[in-house]
Chains A and B, each alone.
Chain A
């Protein structure tokens, strides 16, 4: 299955700033997915990122707040804009494995907003 490298692994940010999370996959993949997981909670899908087209956002998430780039088939970024303490969470990127039924996750980026 694909290996996903995600960075930063953690960061402490000030309110009102923005942070970009990078996700690198060791093989070409069609779709990448971005999830958010608040402490002790489930994984919530933010958006699906396809190469060559705009990301598709889930209800409750908007492009202005979470802009996503997908410049090629191995890389994607998620920016958390104008952060507030409510954005403190773990952000995970993922992709479908070769079996097409298995999601592989990066290790996650733990953001704390003060």
Chain B
């Protein structure tokens, strides 16, 4: 079987830093991705890690450790607009669809 585990909810205040963890167990691994989804919207791509280490894109960073089957998404300088659901997702092999985790709902308050 395959599973991706991430916390169901996280709350934080504006300006803070939040880390959303994801552990995975899948048959095949070809990279870990993160997607953001606002209420009523479609998921949108945030980041992708194929190799171990940290990828930084503006206020968002993502980390992967393949030996630990673990990754995280780090959101810095939180803004109200960051309130959304965040999904980690695994590609089992090249050119195939993603398998998504259950999602983490982030609530940012002022």
Binding site for B on A (CB under 8 A): 30-31, 33, 35, 41-45, 48, 92, 94, 96-97, 100-108
A106–B42 CA distance with the chains assembled, in angstroms: 7
B1 to chain A, nearest CB (A): 10
B102 pairs with A100, CB closer than 8 A: no
Binding site for A on B (CB under 8 A): 31, 33, 35, 41-45, 48, 50, 87, 89, 91, 94-103
Which of A43, A100, A106, A107 meets B87, CB within 8 Å? A43
A102 pairs with B48, CB closer than 8 A: yes
B84 to chain A, nearest CB (A): 13
A31–B97 CA distance with the chains assembled, in angstroms: 9
A contacts with B: majority SS: strand
A92–B94 CA distance with the chains assembled, in angstroms: 21
